[in-house]
Amino acid sequence: MRSWIEGANAPECDFPLENLPYGAFRRRGERLRCGVAIGDHVLDLAVLEESGLIHAGGRTAVFAAPHINAFMALGPAAWRRVRARLTDLLAEGGDPSLRGERGMLARALVPLKEVELGLPIKVAGYTDFYASRQHAFNVGTMFRGAGNALPPNWLHIPIGYNGRASTVVVSGTDIRRPLGQRKPPEAAGPVFGPSTRLDFELEMGAVVGVPSRMGEPITVAEADAMIFGYVLLNDWSARDIQAWEYQPLGPFQAKAFATTISPWVVTKAALEPFRVSTPPREKPLLPYLCEPGPLLHDIHLEVALRPAGAERATTIARTNSRHLYYSAAQQLAHHAVGGCRMECGDLLGSGTISGPEKGSFGSLLELAWDGREPVRLATGETRSFLEDGDEVTLRGWAEGEGYRIGFGECTGRVLPAPAERDW
Ligand SMILES: O=C(O)/C=C/C(=O)CC(=O)CC(=O)O
Ligand SMILES: [Ca+2]
Ligand SMILES: [Mg+2]
């Protein structure tokens, strides 16, 4: 498919006509509204809706809002209708309404470099899972020893914990190094202060569009149908705080201070051609978790780290979301099956995605193996954990024939902890 929009047809462009990811943006002095990325532009959906060029199907306008939740709440038929309409308006040889009207085009098509991107969704709830076998094995080995690395439930349950929606932020937001309680191995008791083992976690985030009802189970197939799309997600983690606090209730303050997501929600529809199956089951799953078909996606993932002042970032990990043992649909079905109501705008972290070999691990804890094998950067520096001023950027894309479905960037920079006089 070709678009008449400059840049959208380049093979390395993240946002070709096949993608059409949703986000929130504003020009200087304007309010946030919904848009779709195409080439190096964003298409203003509020303008299109107001002028009658698109109609999402609801009784009121949905796109002149700071988040895409109202649109997601209209459900899968509306998602399909708007995607088909946008494709027609943007395709070479499609409906000329948008192209034809000069004034309209100038208002509706905004260069990406002129906009500020907002958090695409109002996050209703944030749950983080633990679905990469290699990551679970690696972290388990470091926290509990190789003999107890994989918990006995891991091959039966998509393990997760309830995270904080309040601190999910959009790419580009600076992250303050957290304060917390930790117990250095040689110390007699715990100490309080800035984390000294700050880390990132490379994850995919699934965005729930269709709610479920309290007390009503859902199947894995129904869960898949409830998912609107996916984002890149960095679950910033303070490993020293985590190791001290996590038993027996799991991560709490170690992961509550910040979670960064990419600004564009790539729809499930755009990722359809890239579906792949989960790896073979090592233990049979209980029937409520069995998959009706391929539920993962083949998405290349990368992590780059740029120290303060450095010109270039170093790519320190390359992996793929197909390594996950559980899909987002399985996680969502498991989440809701006991009676928990899932909401439009719920965000589900996949868990850190680590591939089988060392360069494909999704956290610094694993890449530098608990500080024993520091990662070397292009600047000559090494890293075992993040330092103040470090900028971490996640990238991801599915590779089609002659095009890619890109996620854009999920980036954040580490700021120093609050000054000691303030605590
Ligand atoms: O094994 C543990 O004790 C905890 C590991 C994690 O870091 C939990 C987590 O955030 C899940 C994940 O991202 O896979
Ligand atoms: Ca995580
Ligand atoms: Mg987090």
d(CA 322, CA 329): 14
Q: Which atom of ligand 1 lies nearest, measured to the CA of 255? A: 10
Domain boundary among 118, 135, 164: 118
Range of the domain at 283: 126-415
Domain boundary among 100, 118, 136: 118
What single-letter DSSP state applies at residue 324?
Answer: B
In testing the pocket of ligand 1, which one of 137, 239, 352 has its CB within 8 Å of the most ligand atoms? 352
Q: Which atom of ligand 1 lies nearest, measured to the CA of 203? A: 13
Contact in structure between 363 and 281 (CB atoms under 8 Å): no
Q: What is the ipTM of this complex?
A: 0.92
In a domain? residue 6: no
State residue 146 phi and psi, 5-degree precision: -60, -35
State residue 144 phi and psi, 5-degree precision: -130, 0
pLDDT of residue 103: 87
Domain boundary among 91, 118, 145: 118
Q: Which residues pair with 193 in a beta bridge?
A: 180
Per-residue pLDDT tens for 398-419?
Answer: 999 999 999 999 999 999 999 9
d(CA 114, CA 148): 52
Shared-domain flag, residues 222 and 282: yes
Q: Which atom of ligand 1 lies nearest, measured to the CA of 239? A: 7
**Closest C-alpha to ligand 1, atom 12:** 351
pLDDT of residue 102: 77
Shared-domain flag, residues 89 and 172: no
Shared-domain flag, residues 103 and 181: no
d(CA 222, CA 333): 8
Ligand nearest to the CA of 260: 3
pLDDT of residue 248: 93
**Closest C-alpha to ligand 1, atom 11:** 130
Name, in order, each residue with C-beta under 8 angstroms of 178's C-beta and a sequence gap of 6 or more: 194, 195, 198, 238, 241, 253, 254, 257, 258, 417
Distance 364 CA to ligand 1 centre (A): 13
pTM: 0.98
Active site residues: 135
Q: Is 336 touching ligand 1 by the criterion CB < 6 Å? A: no
Looking up tokens 């189970």, which residue turns up? 217
Shared-domain flag, residues 206 and 261: yes
In a domain? residue 9: no
Residue 237 has pLDDT above 90, yes or no: yes
What's the N-to-C CA distance of the chain in angstroms?
Answer: 57
In a domain? residue 259: yes
Hey, what are 301's tokens? 């993932």
In a domain? residue 388: yes
**Mean pLDDT on 201-212:** 98
State residue 228 phi and psi, 5-degree precision: -85, -45
In a domain? residue 347: yes
**Mean pLDDT on 378-396:** 98
**Mean pLDDT on 22-42:** 97
Distance 163 CA to ligand 2 centre (A): 9
**Mean pLDDT on 274-287:** 98
Shared-domain flag, residues 171 and 210: yes
**Mean pLDDT on 127-135:** 98
Shared-domain flag, residues 84 and 151: no
Shared-domain flag, residues 340 and 195: yes
Distance 160 CA to ligand 3 centre (A): 12
**Mean pLDDT on 234-251:** 96
d(CA 71, CA 73): 5
Q: Which atom of ligand 1 lies nearest, measured to the CA of 201? A: 13
Shared-domain flag, residues 288 and 208: yes
Shared-domain flag, residues 153 and 195: yes
**Closest C-alpha to ligand 1, atom 5:** 139
In a domain? residue 17: no
Distance 130 CA to ligand 2 centre (A): 7
Residue closest to 117 by CA, chosen among 169, 77, 55: 169
Q: Which atom of ligand 1 lies nearest, measured to the CA of 160? A: 11
In a domain? residue 269: yes
The CATH number of the domain where 131 resides is what?
3.90.850.10
Q: How many domains does the chain have?
A: 2
Q: For residues 31-61, b (16+ Cβ closer than 10 Å) or e, as one string?
A: ebbbbbbbbbbbbbbbbbbeeebbebeeeee
Shared-domain flag, residues 292 and 395: yes
Shared-domain flag, residues 402 and 284: yes
**Closest C-alpha to ligand 1, atom 8:** 130
**Closest C-alpha to ligand 1, atom 7:** 139
Residue 326 has pLDDT above 90, yes or no: yes
Residue 296 has pLDDT above 80, yes or no: yes
Distance 164 CA to ligand 3 centre (A): 7
Q: Is 135 touching ligand 1 by the criterion CB < 6 Å? A: yes
Distance 128 CA to ligand 2 centre (A): 6
Per-residue pLDDT tens for 46-62?
Answer: 999 999 999 999 999 99
Per-residue pLDDT tens for 78-119?
Answer: 999 999 999 999 999 999 999 987 789 999 999 999 999 999
pLDDT of residue 101: 78
The CATH number of the domain where 79 resides is what?
2.30.30.230
**pLDDT, averaged across the chain:** 97
Shared-domain flag, residues 330 and 285: yes
In a domain? residue 106: yes
